Structure 1
Amino acid sequence: MTESAEAKTIGFTPIYCSGKAMFHVSAGVPVSDALAQASDFLFLAKAFTEDAAYVRDTDRHAWAAHYLTAMGKALLDDVVKAVTPRPARKDKKAAK
């Protein structure tokens, strides 16, 4: 496993809007910062979903929660990619 203190986001994970990749997680963000930001996004999304359950005249809270969870998920997915060890690569020349 990659040392988490040194690990940084790789920036490959997209954030989707209407099924299309609109944004990507930035590469080079320390994992601890990315996880803190994802936690903030998910905390706000939880608050917005509670509001959406009680405020019936608008859907703005539900859509805000939707986008915040998409951003939080992208950050978490990118962190997982950054800290998951890559499979060992076999050298084709050594196999012959």
Structure 2
Amino acid sequence: MNNANPPQLSKLKTVGVTPFIYRSSQPLFRVSAGVPIGDALAQVSDLLCLAKAFAEDAAYSKDTDRHAWAAHYLTAMSKAVIDDVVQMLSP
């Protein structure tokens, strides 16, 4: 980005090209296009907060792996949104 002419961040939106959660080499989900990046990143923050809590629970709970799987899916969704925002911001 050019610091002399920064884009108005409030007008930037997700591009909607980043897939996540694959089944048989085919993406099951994709980031939606047109979401304001502030909203998208706020959602990512919430997803990562939950993923952190589930990962911590998984570390202490040895009787099941459901917390680990929940953390896995939440981080996959978070990564996809961040990758989509970065793709939009990159020249």
**Percent identity of paired positions between Structure 1 and Structure 2:** 62
Tell me, in whole angstroms, the C-alpha distance in 2 between the residues paired with 1:17 and 1:45: 19
Match of 1:20 in 2: 26
One-letter code aligned to 1:45: A
- Deviation track 1:30-55 (CA, whole Å, cap 9, x = no partner) reads 00000001111111000000000111
Question: Per the alignment, in what secondary structure is the counterpart of residue 5 of structure 1?
Answer: helix
Counterpart pick for 1:73 among 73, 76, 79: 79
5+ residue gaps, structure 2, are 2-6
How many angstroms apart in 1 are the aligned matches of 2:84 and 2:67? Answer: 26
TM (norm. structure 1) is 0.82
User: Rg: which structure is higher?
Assistant: 1
TM-score, normalising length: structure 2: 0.87
How many angstroms apart in 2 are the aligned matches of 1:34 and 1:53? 28
The corresponding residue for 2:48 is: 42
Per-residue Cα deviation, 1:71-95 (whole angstroms, up to 9, x for no partner): 000000000111222xxxxxxxxxx
What is the alpha-carbon distance in structure 2 between the residues aligned to residue 38 and residue 11 of structure 1? 15
Displacement over 6 Å in runs of 4+: none
2-structure distance, mates of 1:83, 1:74:
14
Matched pairs, number: 85
* Corresponding position: 1:55 with 2:35: no
Maintained 8 Å contact 1:13/1:74: yes
